[in-house]
Structure 1
Amino acid sequence: MNDTFTELASSDIRGFAVRPVIQPVTDSAALPEAIMDEGPTNVLDQYHTQIGEWLKIKRPTQPYTEDELKDAIEAFISDSSNAMGNWVYYPWLDTVVRVLNEEMYREVVTSRNQFKITPEEQKILSGKTIGVIGLSVGQAAAVTLAMENVGGTIRIADFDTLDLSNLNRLRAGVHQLGMPKTVIAAREIAQINPYLHVEIYDEGVTPENAVSFMSGLDLLVEECDSLPIKIAVRHIAKKMKLPVIMDTSDRGMVDVERFDLESDRPIFHGKLAAFEGKDPATFTPEDKRNLLFTLVDYPMASDRAKSSFAEIGKTITTWPQLASAVTLGGAMMTDSARRILLGNTLASGRYYVDLEQLIGTND
């Protein structure tokens, strides 16, 4: 393997490539040696089309005719003073794609955000770092954050690998079974936006690395299954004055804790008062059950969720999650994150986007 390429691809996880190799396009528009040596099977060059999109968003009041656009693209490409873009090599796809340089790329991919997100707001968001713990709802959140360009850095954590039973809700395929969930999420983000910075904790968040994971974050999306970790990261977030948001995949419940605005706010809105002082590591199965019911507001849960809870350990092994609920959770986490990061009013509390109530049901 070429030494340059080895250096660029050095940050692999458990032997899996997770970041694309980005090399500038030269005057000859030939593939760089570092990429050529890998012998990629697929080379996709749609640079002319991308330049056309960029030119069109620069002239919204005077649309190009087909011939005018063709001439404008050729004029841009032939001008040696203009940017020539970058080659992006995805080792796991055995594919090289030519894309606009980072500034032009961001202009085009965010052009359809305006003015639901203003250019000024998009610039603010690009400087933010968001942490995502747990990659079920968390995967949906991380990918949606990437598509919406909310955050310039996304830090993801999960210790688990993909199982067949995960495919009811995770965006993945059977060819990825056994692959770390962090790798699956990182690769999808890279395929959406090769310039987005992704940091990976493939051991998940633990008591030993929690402070490291959370340091430097502007917001935390917490979606892990571990009750002790849920509690621990909130105590850390409170000390760091870091806002925390969570989705429960039932009745569209969004939990918001604005530790950035309320330094004395009790974690989980004070719902854990009965458990304060207890070591989570010593929780009995009954303690864990009662704690879970407290965290999800059992009386507020859907009837089907309550029925499912009653079957855990009898006919099912854990609580169910549906793809529709996880996808909705990713959308709500992204919307909530964007508003918090932009300084919009979003108070601590629990909010419900209950589709059965909003749309109606025949059950």
Structure 2
Amino acid sequence: MNESEKAGGMKHVYKPEILSPRIQKEKQRIEFLLHQPGVFIVDEIGRQLDELIKIDHPSNQLVEADFGRIRLRYLDGEPIEDCGNWVWYPWRNTLVHLLSEPEFVRLRTSRNQFKITPEEQSMLAQKKIGVIGLSVGQSVALSLAMERAFGELRIADFDTLDLSNLNRIRTGLYNLGLKKTYIVAREIAEIDPYLKITLYNEGINEQNMHDFFTLGGQLDILVEECDSLPIKISSRLKSKALRIPVLMDTSDRGMMDVERFDMEPDRPILHGLLAAFGDETELTRILAANAKDIMMALLQFEQLSDRAKYSFSEIGKSITTWPQLASSVLMGGAACSHLCRMILLGQRVSSGRYYLDLESLFNSHEGKS
């Protein structure tokens, strides 16, 4: 157990250790972990090498003897236990043997081709994406990580996981009480330990917003999925000032907002839906007195599904907050991820409010064949 583990326990650990057997000190750490009682060891490096050989020889019909011969060439004289890296996940008490980063990335993204070309994959690896709010945002973050659609992901949320969140957040009961940022960072690390994840554990506020947008390089796109009206407004004003595009999914009727401040720097925030309340730079000042009206205008209440409208009427009576369903959240996460990729690769995505409304789509086809 390293010093950070001893000092803070597992609760605040979210980064795995990536250990190279070619560095003596790290090799000693690997040996130590390999011989610790209770450590779960996953060593499938041979299968990974064989998969790598397959993707490197797509037109060859390889037999078992070919794999053995080619594997020796890939190992270049190294023993197989020294191939690649070993990755220690302390919160899982698990040690995993993986290919080194370039080979790992090439193999892990091999099934993306040519939905995403190698050139596009390299472009995406240079991009910085920010995600504020980790309900829908969790689905966005995991989709982006699975596609390896970024070089750095900045995630922000102040909240911890409660049992009621599990109707829409895909994680386990063992994470109850854990910060949502740690949960998402761990889940991404378990998919791909080489991805860079930066955490803002207190959410976004006036003090850290500039850093979130610019520290280590300016964001290329923002996905805003928080519940806070002040942050919805202030993060868009910041995005507009920096000419950063913004995406938002609202988990009702597949409502998706696209704001291309990168292409339209004078575009009013939130499509101008709040223009009746005055200058957009003054909106946060009047929120307290007008929060409900502003929210209804923002959502275009009459455009909501009938069930969402009824749910809003029950807040404070039979329910405490507005509902979200897993199917909507997962679909919204996937849609945001898809649009992120399109925008980052320079494909055409126009500003606007769009609906991926499956219920209306299928009701409109009722009785047709």
Q: TM-score, normalised by structure 2?
A: 0.90
Deviation at 1:158, TM superposition (A): 0.2
The alpha-carbon distance between structure 1 residues 279 and 256, as it changes in their structure 2 partners (threshold 3 A), is closer
Deviation at 1:289, TM superposition (A): 1.6
* Residue in 1 that maps onto 2:358: 355
Q: Aligned to 1:88, what secondary structure does the other structure show?
A: strand
Deviation at 1:314, TM superposition (A): 1.1
Deviation at 1:199, TM superposition (A): 0.1
After the TM superposition, which of the residue ranges 128-137 and 269-278 deviates more from structure 2?
A: 269-278
Residues in 1 aligned to 2:247 and 2:163: alpha-carbon distance in whole angstroms: 28
Q: Aligned to 2:111, what secondary structure does the other structure show?
A: coil
C-alpha contact 2:10 2:90 (8 A) present in aligned 1: no
Q: Does 1:168 align with 2:170?
A: no
Deviation at 1:257, TM superposition (A): 0.3
After the TM superposition, which of the residue ranges 45-54 and 291-300 deviates more from structure 2?
A: 291-300
* Residue in 1 that maps onto 2:219: 217
Q: Does 1:25 align with 2:13?
A: no
Q: Does 1:308 align with 2:338?
A: no
The alpha-carbon distance between structure 1 residues 160 and 290, as it changes in their structure 2 partners (threshold 3 A), is same
Q: Once superposed, which parts of structure 1, at least 4 consecutive aligned residues long, lie more than 4 Å away?
A: 9-15, 35-38
The amino acid of 1:50's aligned partner reads Q
Note the alpha carbon deviations across 1:135-187, whole angstroms, 9 max, x for none: 00000000110001100110000000000000000111211110000000000
The alpha-carbon distance between structure 1 residues 106 and 158, as it changes in their structure 2 partners (threshold 3 A), is same
C-alpha contact 1:89 1:97 (8 A) present in aligned 2: yes
* Residue in 1 that maps onto 2:181: 182
C-alpha contact 1:11 1:19 (8 A) present in aligned 2: no
The amino acid of 1:85's aligned partner reads G
Residues in 2 aligned to 1:36 and 1:201: alpha-carbon distance in whole angstroms: 34
The amino acid of 1:241's aligned partner reads R
Deviation at 1:78, TM superposition (A): 5.8
Q: Aligned to 1:344, what secondary structure does the other structure show?
A: coil
* Residue in 2 that maps onto 1:42: 40
* Residue in 2 that maps onto 1:319: 322
C-alpha contact 1:31 1:87 (8 A) present in aligned 2: no
Deviation at 1:93, TM superposition (A): 0.3
Residues in 2 aligned to 1:198 and 1:321: alpha-carbon distance in whole angstroms: 26
C-alpha contact 1:86 1:99 (8 A) present in aligned 2: yes
The alpha-carbon distance between structure 1 residues 282 and 14, as it changes in their structure 2 partners (threshold 3 A), is farther
Which of the pair is proportionally richer in helix? 2
C-alpha contact 2:20 2:26 (8 A) present in aligned 1: no
* Residue in 1 that maps onto 2:252: 250
The alpha-carbon distance between structure 1 residues 81 and 66, as it changes in their structure 2 partners (threshold 3 A), is closer
The alpha-carbon distance between structure 1 residues 47 and 87, as it changes in their structure 2 partners (threshold 3 A), is same
C-alpha contact 1:11 1:17 (8 A) present in aligned 2: no
Q: Aligned to 2:194, what secondary structure does the other structure show?
A: coil
Q: Does 1:68 align with 2:56?
A: no
C-alpha contact 2:233 2:283 (8 A) present in aligned 1: no
The alpha-carbon distance between structure 1 residues 118 and 271, as it changes in their structure 2 partners (threshold 3 A), is same
C-alpha contact 2:21 2:86 (8 A) present in aligned 1: yes
* Residue in 2 that maps onto 1:235: 237
C-alpha contact 2:11 2:178 (8 A) present in aligned 1: no
CA RMSD of aligned residues (A): 2.5
The amino acid of 2:91's aligned partner reads W
The alpha-carbon distance between structure 1 residues 176 and 309, as it changes in their structure 2 partners (threshold 3 A), is same
The amino acid of 2:324's aligned partner reads Q
* Residue in 1 that maps onto 2:154: 155
C-alpha contact 1:129 1:218 (8 A) present in aligned 2: yes
Residues in 2 aligned to 1:10 and 1:261: alpha-carbon distance in whole angstroms: 49
The amino acid of 1:243's aligned partner reads P
Q: Does 1:80 align with 2:83?
A: no
Residues in 2 aligned to 1:146 and 1:13: alpha-carbon distance in whole angstroms: 26
Q: Does 1:283 align with 2:282?
A: no
The amino acid of 1:275's aligned partner reads F
Residues in 1 aligned to 2:65 and 2:117: alpha-carbon distance in whole angstroms: 31
Residues in 1 aligned to 2:174 and 2:182: alpha-carbon distance in whole angstroms: 13
Q: Does 1:129 align with 2:136?
A: no
The alpha-carbon distance between structure 1 residues 36 and 217, as it changes in their structure 2 partners (threshold 3 A), is same
Note the alpha carbon deviations across 1:43-93, whole angstroms, 9 max, x for none: 111001001111111111113123322442244336339982001000000
Q: Aligned to 1:154, what secondary structure does the other structure show?
A: strand
Structure 1, unmatched stretches of 5+, are none
The alpha-carbon distance between structure 1 residues 195 and 12, as it changes in their structure 2 partners (threshold 3 A), is farther
Q: Quick one: percent identity of the two aligned structures?
A: 48
Count of residues in Structure 1 that have an aligned counterpart in Structure 2: 356
* Residue in 2 that maps onto 1:339: 342
The alpha-carbon distance between structure 1 residues 81 and 339, as it changes in their structure 2 partners (threshold 3 A), is farther
